[in-house]
Structure 1
């Protein structure tokens, strides 16, 4: 994602539309991102949950936003800090997020030396994590964190490898989704089929309330 500039992307996007070719999921996700960012206020607050090495953070900064970036994986976070640690518009928090504050096991792939593989690091274990490292990380209560900010949130981007389910449920139960300009969420039904029913209930609620500012098909 974000392999080209915004003008290059939009040119290619409209050419594909002219040729009536359906966009692939990654391009569709980029288009959704740009639509939301173009309608969001400059100097707004962008919450990057699962920031990884900071590619989305970088794009949010390009729109003049302030970013709070959460990344519990130490391998990815090292790159994130190298890129943005000196930027006073970025706050990096080395923790995971969830519905409750706790300590939790964090699973990494065995090939974690390849920083690209850190995108699969997760609070939920899959077959990809077999023989990988297990770390203890701190999980913060996301709802309480958002409440404590005491300022409007322009965008929440959520790519947290299965933990999005508990976070979304908590945000909905607390009614905080009304206070966010837009939410971009990558869901992981394929990796965690046992979460599918809970995600379906969230999707049903989004549809019933016609919440056009929340995308669960992002990424």
Structure 2
């Protein structure tokens, strides 16, 4: 029990306890979200993004399957009519799946055994010590129920490709996590994004190093430019988020 309290408390400090970072996040997301827009937060965790998107006037669909994180989200946003809490995971097809939880580090809970195996050496001391069965829906399902998002954040610890596989048409803008340690898998996932956007004129890309809330490039890049940028940054070994937007 103490481990679970510690894990959630740690997340609350990281995602709600840094006012300077909050201002940077609002500047970052104001490129994609404004009053009345819908934002999908896939992997909402304890709601750090939810809070900042609401301050931009956006309506938020916060998707989170972890029971402990859901308790926090309900406490913080349960009375906010601009926030819809969806207690499910997102994947390629509807159904059920096992979510492996890390009690002391809930940010790395994941539905991907391959991802957990590949990154275990990066997270020294992290254990996935319990699991829960969760309902799975697709992004197409969420769009049908809640409307088309202006922006969709996907941060699901190695399960991003499966989430994207459940989306049949491009959204206006999105972000996905990139990990240098699993570069090949990350690039395969980014090519899924690129293929998805091709029918709507093609996505343009930028990159933000982990938790900096600042874009690395002064320009929005095509896939070739993004690939070159990630290859240049890859030796430093820092993860981050790739942002994609339609012209």
SS in 1 for 2:106: helix
Q: 1:88: Cα distance to partner?
A: 1.1
- The one of 158, 168, 171 aligned to 1:162: 158
SS in 2 for 1:217: strand
Determine whether 1:118 maps to 2:106.
yes
Equivalent residues of 2:91, 2:165 under 8 A apart: no
- Quote the RMSD (CA, aligned, Å): 3.0
- The one of 130, 136, 140 aligned to 1:139: 136
Whole-angstrom distance in 2 between the partners of 1:52 and 1:7: 16
1:201/1:164 CA distance change after superposition, 3 Å: same
Q: 1:120: Cα distance to partner?
A: 0.7
Whole-angstrom distance in 2 between the partners of 1:8 and 1:101: 37
Whole-angstrom distance in 2 between the partners of 1:183 and 1:203: 9
- Partner deviation per Cα, 1:68-89 (whole Å, 9 max, x = no partner): 1011111111111111111111
Q: What's the counterpart of residue 201 of structure 1?
A: 191
Determine whether 1:211 maps to 2:203.
yes
Number of equivalenced pairs: 184
- The one of 81, 103, 117 aligned to 1:88: 81
SS in 2 for 1:186: strand
TM-score normalised over the length of structure 1 = 0.71
1:64/1:198 CA distance change after superposition, 3 Å: same
Q: What's the counterpart of residue 222 of structure 2?
A: none
Whole-angstrom distance in 2 between the partners of 1:213 and 1:148: 28
SS in 2 for 1:153: coil
Whole-angstrom distance in 1 between the partners of 2:49 and 2:190: 26
Equivalent residues of 2:22, 2:52 under 8 A apart: no
Whole-angstrom distance in 2 between the partners of 1:101 and 1:206: 20
Q: 1:217: Cα distance to partner?
A: 2.0
Equivalent residues of 1:161, 1:188 under 8 A apart: no
Equivalent residues of 1:181, 1:213 under 8 A apart: no
Greater CA drift, 200-209 or 56-65? 200-209
- The one of 39, 47, 50 aligned to 2:40: 47
Q: Which runs of 5+ in 2 are unaligned?
A: 1-14, 208-240
1:10-89 superposed matches below 5 A: 30=25, 34-89=27-82
Q: What's the counterpart of residue 99 of structure 1?
A: 92
